Chains A and B, each alone.
Chain A
Amino acid sequence: MRALTLLARRSVAPIAGLAIAGIDVWLASLAMTPGMRLWADVVTGLTSAALPTGTLAAGIAAFEANRWSNANRDRTMVGVREPVLVRAQHAAAVALPVLAGYLLALGILGVIAALTGTYGSPAVLWLASLGAGLLLATAVGYWAGSAFGAHWFVAPVGALTFVVGYVAATVGLPVFGMRALFPAGAAMDSVFTRTVDLTFLGKSACWLGLTVILVVTSRGSRRPGTARRVPTIVVLVAGLTAVTGGVVVIAENGQVTAAYNSRDFVCENDGFTLCLNRGYAVAMQPLHAAFAALNSRVDGTPLAAARLEQNVEGIGDLPARGARSVYVERLSSPSDIEFAVERYVKKYGAAPHCGVESIGVPAVDYVDTWLSGADYFSDGSPEPARLSALKRLSASEGNAWFRAHASAYFSCSLTLADLP
């Protein structure tokens, strides 16, 4: 233990660990949804950090492995302790500060999350797999660093090995499940998903198994002239674990999330019911006001909202009976609220009835824009006169006009002549 701490203390791995903690915290902060505090975003940010932190870990491990190997080859050769165990101990002295940096980041983010009331809980298996991926990146660098004599380029080569592996896996592997086996890559966690635990278990098993194999097969883990004293069972178990994990990941096609609505809602009943995920409660007031404005225009028509539930758009969008889905992901500006209303109008208004032709029906387009409260042109160009006329209507005038033209609107037969 003393030798382990001695080696760790006298390496640059602790500095790398601090850098990794900094990168993790920084990228996790960048990934936060504007206006929200969600653990899912923290996990997404940490996942995006896997490439830079893995590259750093690989480079540092290559440097340390190279430095140690070239200084201690003779000592290890005449030492009593088995070279493979000595080698593994040094690898641990490099890997532990790196891993500690990642854990430090988790601790910092956990404290920030507790202080800011961050919603949800971290996906533990996901985070564990990120740790396993960081260990594999370290092992890749360690193996590469052990293979060379003392040269300045060893650390960059170690780091480059990881980056090249990432590019090769991303570009070269045809199956997504195989690509997912590389210990860095983008994946997005969300409040409206559940994690596919099996994939993360498979990743962790595969990466940890490969880590063990890389360390025990690194150059210098064998006494010259002797057979390698690695217990065969260790290599077999590590290999079997890696292969099993890899097969599981490929079988799951690398899928890490599946659509899921926990229905952990907070609701507001004021004329209509709006239910938002507890993590998005901060959007309640502006969103309720926006839908109240919409309802005042479409009251008495099928577009009027009675119960709205926040949901995920696309696969897994299954609102409760009698409820309609509302989509909101961020709250950085008023346009995010307008966009939520616009998506509602597009989903439940005329557009589905118009099919692909909806783009060619300007009258419907103008009405949808008016109902959403959005600008027609995002670049500030003057809006069409017909749309301006709609916007000038009072709530009661607007409601009267929409009721009168609702059937034309929903049948996608509304023309510009119908507009005020």
Chain B
Amino acid sequence: MHEGRTGAVIEARNLTIRRGSRVIYDDVSIAFDSGVTAILGPNGAGKTTLLEALLTPPRAGNATIRFVGARVDDSDSFRAFLAGVGYMPQDWTYFSGFTARESVEYAAWLKGARGSSVRSVASAALDSVDLTAFAHVKVRRLSGGLKQRVGLAEAFVNDPRAVLLDEPTVGLDPAQRASYRRFLRGHATDRAVVISTHLTDDVEAIADRVVVIAAGRIIFDGAPAELAAHGTRTEGTASALEAGYLSVVGANAPAQGRL
């Protein structure tokens, strides 16, 4: 387990999240280092809830959130935290009327960029996702894959130490997904990239670490190969990793819920 490591880029301890009377997470602790971490789990397991709690420490109740070793517990540390993280939500939306450049520039401005640096950091972000040629095209006119790249450029525009991406490859064709993965892989050497996904091939392709969550608990935390080792590939499973994932999730599912 990666709990409580002092060198973690982003870390949450004793995270408890409730929605009404329902407990989503009960006293969970998790930390993320540099590299790509995939959060895997069935639909409704709370992947998005976890990312949102990490992004808004004040919403994380009594949990302790640390960012690059510093506790996020006041407005100054919260600002530093926000300045150092990037985020792309699952249902990434754009402001109709904005071009790709304007959309990324606005995200940069929201992240605190000022004056001429707004333009320069946006240019760099667009360039990094190969969108320079489309910079002056309205986002609404871009294809689905190119739109996702605008979202990616926004998430990286502030050169964050930690990036949280919620289901970033959903809806992309194989070529786009490959391009996406290459980008993430190439930008994870000096930052924590956390991807929430339910696609095991994403995990296999780029993740250094995989965290499986189900029923409000972390049920697996380790290397993709370790997860793959948990299962036996049978007919109907696409890969050893998927077999391992199904095995881990199945073993932790409530008895009545098992197929």
Contact = CB atoms under 8 A, between A and B. Distances in A.
B118 A2 contact: yes
Given A2-B118, A224-B59, A226-B58, A68 B110 contact: no
Interface stretch (B3-11, B93-101, B240-248): B93-101
A68 B95 CA distance: 7
Nearest to B83: A80
Interface in A111-167: none
Interface stretch (A27-35, A71-79, A97-105, A307-315): A71-79
Interface stretch (A3-11, A54-62, A325-333): A3-11
Nearest to B95: A71
Is chain A's binding surface mostly helix, strand, loop or mixed?
helix
Contact of A10 (B87, B102, B154): B102
A71 B94 contact: yes
A78 B82 CA distance: 6
A10 B110 contact: no
Contacts of B106: 3, 6-7, 72, 75
Interface string A173-203: 0000000000000000000000000000000
Contacts of A353: none
Interface of A: 2-3, 6-7, 10-11, 67-68, 70-72, 74-81, 86, 223-226
Interface in B69-110: 79, 82-83, 85-87, 89, 92-98, 102, 105-107, 109-110
Q: Across chains A and B, which 10 residue pairs bring their CB atoms closest together, nearest first?
A: A225-B59, A79-B110, A10-B97, A80-B112, A225-B58, A71-B95, A74-B89, A226-B58, A78-B87, A3-B109
Nearest to B55: A78
A70 B93 contact: yes
B25 to A, nearest CB: 15
B179 interface: no
20 contacts: A67-B95, A67-B96, A72-B95, A74-B87, A74-B89, A75-B106, A75-B154, A78-B86, A79-B111, A80-B79, A80-B82, A80-B110, A86-B110, A223-B56, A224-B58, A224-B59, A225-B57, A225-B58, A225-B60, A226-B56
A296 to B, nearest CB: 72
Contacts of A78: 55, 82, 85-87
A77 B96 CA distance: 19
Contacts of B87: 74, 78
A10 B98 contact: yes
B102 A77 contact: no
Nearest to B61: A225
Given A67-B95, A76-B110, 5 more contacts: A74-B89, A78-B86, A81-B110, A225-B58, A225-B60
Contacts of A72: 95, 106, 110
A72 B105 CA distance: 13
A226 B55 CA distance: 12
B56 A224 contact: yes
A371 to B, nearest CB: 69
A134 to B, nearest CB: 23
Nearest to A72: B95
A3 B115 CA distance: 10
Given A6-B106, A74-B87, A223-B58, A79 B82 contact: yes
A161 to B, nearest CB: 24
Contacts of A2: 105, 109, 118
Nearest to A225: B59
A77 B111 contact: no
Nearest to A6: B102
Contacts of B56: 77, 223-226
Contacts of B105: 2-3, 6
